[in-house]
Amino acid sequence: MTKADIVERIYEKVGYSKKDVANVVEEIFSSIKASLEAGEKVKISGFGNFNVRHKTARRGRNPQTGADITIEERKVMTFKASQILKKAINSGAR
Amino acid sequence: MTKSELIERVSAEVKTFSKKDVEIIVDSLFDSMSESLSRGEKVEIRGFGSFKIKEREGRQGRNPKSGENIYIEAKRVPFFKAGKEIRERINK
């Protein structure tokens, strides 16, 4: 499923103009991105939480050359699915 | 930011819909994604990230409290991988 498919589904459910729905979908993701960029947690009840975690620098190794390298400190985005989503995924038809 | 704050912020940017309509679209968006994942499909949002389902096999486990042996059923778990754009943006 891509963004275009999501727009299609929403359109089928609510029937607003596809172009307008696409605009809102775009705005939803930009808003979430802006929030995470500002270091804010994003909690979508029933779906899950998006978080930004800070990782400290650590020593690593280039698996190809074997050379020791330092992995710089960085921030990573994580997602934790809600219980509702986890349940839905496991009750889906297989 | 919670879902209701997301609805507020999106409504402030979008003039074509009322807040109630934005709420319907936001709910409908996350429902569509959940439904798709429940069918075992991958969900890919360019610039944001992708969600996919991994199958976990059943395994022998132990109840850490009672020490009793239990069988952990096979299950499906969702995974998220952040997209390139967001990875870069949160590190700026």
Higher pLDDT, B52 or A14: B52
Tell whether ipTM is more than 0.90.
no
Cβ of B34 and A37 within 8 Å?
A: no
Confidence of residue A46 (pLDDT cuts 50, 70, 90): very high
Amino acid, single-letter form, for residue B46: R
Q: Are A89 and B2 a contacting pair at CB < 8 A?
A: no
Contacting residues of B for A11, CB less than 8 Å apart = none
Instruction: Report how far residue A48's alpha carbon sits from residue A46's, in angstroms, rounded to the nearest whole number.
Output: 6
Domain architecture of chain B: domains with CATH: 3-90 (4.10.520.10)
> 10 Å Cβ neighbour count for B11?
19
CB pairs below 8 Å between A and B: how many? 149
Beta-strand relationship, B59-62 and B69-72:
antiparallel
pLDDT on residue A92: 55
pLDDT at A13: 87
Distance, CA of B6 to CA of A54 (rounded, Å): 23
Shortest distance between the Cα of B39 and any Cα of chain A, in A, equals 6
- Per the structure block, which two tokens stand in for A16? 């607003």
pTM to 2 decimal places: 0.87
Least Cα separation, residue A45 to chain B (angstroms): 7
Query: Which among B49, B42, B43, B45 has a CA at the least distance from the CA of B87?
Result: B49
Average pLDDT on B39-61 reads 94
pLDDT in tens, B16-44: 999 999 999 999 999 999 999 999 999 99
> B39, A25: Cβ pair inside 8 Å?
no
Q: What CA–CA distance (Å, rounded) separates A12 from B34?
A: 16
CB contact under 8 A, A77 and B90: yes
A66: confidence class by pLDDT, cuts 50, 70, 90: confident
Average pLDDT score over chain B: 93
pLDDT over 90 at A7, yes or no: yes
CA distances from A61 to A65, A68, A74 (A): 8, 5, 17
Q: What proportion of chain A, given as a percentage, has pLDDT over 90? A: 78
Q: Which domains does chain A have, with CATH numbers?
A: 1-40 (4.10.520.10), 42-94 (4.10.520.10)
Task: Quote the minimal CA–CA distance from B43 to chain A in Å.
Answer: 5
Q: Torsion angle of alpha carbons A54, A57, A63, A65, nearest 10°?
A: 140
